[in-house]
């Protein structure tokens, strides 16, 4: 069994879309998936990509992905990497692919002179929380994530 981590290419878009749908189902959030192939493709591979994707393969077959983008720490004066989604197909879990994806993200963060690598995890996802802690991650319990979307976002924008 060989693990490979590689940057995604436009030809990976259908696989990425399925990974996102599978992740949403696992998180009980399938109802929240609203992207179209054109929108996602343009934002990942268009003239101004907004995010990057790593594809994790086991023996040459795509079995997981990590979707990430740069954020910025004003206190550090440097960028960071924000991991939006990490998913490994159930049949490939335990092979080390999740860790390999995070190791590659950490390598990219160091190579790009980022101050940190961070992500959010659902409170109920104890297996993932334990996995992340075992890798050295720590929860930011003193922070609350805030969000404005949908009609509230349009209203705030005055539209």
- Which positions are annotated as active-site residues? 132
Using CA atoms, how far apart are residues 45 and 38, in angstroms rounded to an integer? 10
Q: Cβ-count burial of 47 within 10 angstroms (0-12 exposed, 13-18 middle, 19+ buried)?
A: exposed
What is the rounded end-to-end Cα distance, in angstroms, of the chain?
53
Tokens of 156: 């705030």
Residues 35 and 17: their CA atoms lie apart, in Å, by 9
> Which class for 98: exposed (0-12), middle (13-18), buried (19 or more C-beta within 10 A)?
buried
**What radius of gyration do the chain's Cα atoms show?**
16
Residue 133 has φ and ψ, to the nearest 5°, of -60, -40
């Amino acid at each position: 069994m060989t693990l490979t981590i590689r940057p995604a290419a436009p030809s990976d878009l259908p696989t990425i879309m399925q990974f996102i749908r599978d992740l949403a189902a696992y998180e009980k959030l399938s109802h929240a998936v609203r992207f179209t192939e054109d929108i996602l493709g343009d934002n990942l591979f268009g003239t101004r990509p907004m995010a990057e994707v790593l594809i994790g393969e086991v023996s040459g077959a795509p079995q997981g992905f990590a979707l990430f983008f740069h954020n910025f720490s004003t206190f550090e004066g440097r960028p960071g990497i924000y991991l939006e989604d990490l998913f490994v197909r159930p049949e490939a879990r335990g092979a080390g692919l999740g860790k390999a994806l995070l190791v590659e993200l950490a390598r990219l963060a160091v190579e790009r002179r980022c101050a940190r690598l961070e992500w959010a995890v659902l409170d109920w996802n104890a297996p993932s929380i334990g996995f992340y802690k075992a890798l050295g991650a720590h929860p930011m319990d003193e922070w609350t994530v805030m969000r404005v979307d949908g009609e509230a976002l349009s209203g705030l924008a005055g539209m």
